[in-house]
Amino acid sequence: MNVTRRTTLGALAAGSLAGMGLPARAQAANTLRFHQMLPPQATIPAKAIVPWAQKVERESGGRIRVQHFPTMQLGGRPPELFDQAKDGVVDLIWTVLGYTPGRFPKSEVFELPFSTGNAEAGSRAFQEYVETHAMDEFKDVKLICVHIHGPGLFHSKDPVTRLEDLKGMKVRGGSRVINIMLEQLGATPVGMPVPAVGEALSKGVITATTIPWEVVPALRVQQIVKNHTGFTGEKGLYTQTFAVAMNKAKYDALPADLKKVIDDNSGQVAASLFGRAMDEGDKAGLALAQQGGNKVITLDAAETARWQRAASGVRAVWYQEVAGKGIDGQKMAAEAERLIAKYSKK
């Protein structure tokens, strides 16, 4: 890899390390390589990863340095990110849990249709849920946080104004649960990581995609398709689950005071930051589509109810699948709903 392409967070931090006269070995030991799939101007890199890294650098007094490698610059494919952190190929990652189907079955409950709305509230709920019920799914890494995106919607070449419009449409789905939902709604699901969406739409591999508003500008989706369909009510059709994770050995090797810096920027604090960035990004993505004269469709309450009924079978399928792994899906779904309601009140 050409190291001149990397995005180093906080050039001042790099300078301060040299100025403090720290040994080169210490500098290298406390340099964290943060690897992720999206371009640096996308919402999560710009509004969550960079602020998080700068705060860590600042609170460590410059003793931790975070190097940001966007767009998979350190190699591999997006589905490999979690293992890159687990195996120490990199030190920190941000990834979509659904890119490794079946690996995070307890966490999938937050992807059930019409479960979540506001991303910050949902992310805080998801964080508490994982800390209480699903930490075994993250035992091989130091978990920084989990989060979700805001209300999911469709972006399509042809308008989607009713459920029947989806029949046979080739639609990108970002996770196993979302693909089950798309199939039940009558679409033909096509699974792929989000960086591939723009090219797939341009080449006709898919004719629509499920993504939130926040990532539309980074992928230039509003330039490729001109129709965007959302739903009435606070809860979106779907969401996806994400994680920020650190290599466990790298974390364990840090001195106690630097571990505390990482810990102080993990959990609910980080979940709120990433969820809030998603909410703010949704507003920006919607505004961009409106400015371009695109058709933004909000299905009315009656049509939304039809979609809710059509997607309701996803829960039964998911309950049956996770039961085979010893998971009480109905109990987990009830707990997720309780936590979402808890944080949505704040």
Could you give phi then psi for residue 126, rounded to 5 degrees?
A: -65, -40
Sign (positive or negative) of CA dihedral 43, 240, 126, 345: positive
Q: Do domains 3-97+119-148+240-280 and 153-238+285-344 have the same CATH topology?
A: yes
Distance between CA atoms of residues 16 and 34, nearest Å:
20
Distance between CA atoms of residues 13 and 47, nearest Å:
19
Distance between CA atoms of residues 195 and 127, nearest Å:
25
- pLDDT of amino acid 15: 32
- pLDDT of amino acid 219: 92
Question: Model confidence at 345, in pLDDT bands (50, 70, 90)?
Answer: confident
pTM > 0.75? yes
pLDDT of 175 strictly over 80: yes
Instruction: Write the pLDDT tens digit of every residue in 19-65.
Output: 333 444 445 559 999 999 999 999 999 999 999 999 999 999 999 99
Instruction: Write the pLDDT tens digit of every residue in 320-344.
Output: 999 999 999 999 999 999 999 999 9
Instruction: Write the pLDDT tens digit of every residue in 65-113.
Output: 999 999 999 999 999 999 999 999 999 999 999 999 999 999 999 999 9
Question: Model confidence at 300, in pLDDT bands (50, 70, 90)?
Answer: very high
Query: 3-97+119-148+240-280 belongs to which CATH class?
Result: alpha beta
Question: Model confidence at 6, in pLDDT bands (50, 70, 90)?
Answer: very low
8-state DSSP, 45: I
Instruction: Write the pLDDT tens digit of every residue in 145-158.
Output: 999 999 999 999 99
Which amino acid is residue 83, in one-letter code?
D
- pLDDT of amino acid 328: 98
**Mean pLDDT for the stretch of residues 286-299:** 96
**Mean pLDDT for the stretch of residues 284-292:** 95
Sign (positive or negative) of CA dihedral 184, 189, 192, 197: negative
Question: Model confidence at 17, in pLDDT bands (50, 70, 90)?
Answer: very low
* Domain spans in the chain, listed from the N-terminal domain onward: 3-97+119-148+240-280, 153-238+285-344
- Domain 153-238+285-344 fold is D-Maltodextrin-Binding Protein; domain 2 (3.40.190)
Summary mean pLDDT of the chain: 91
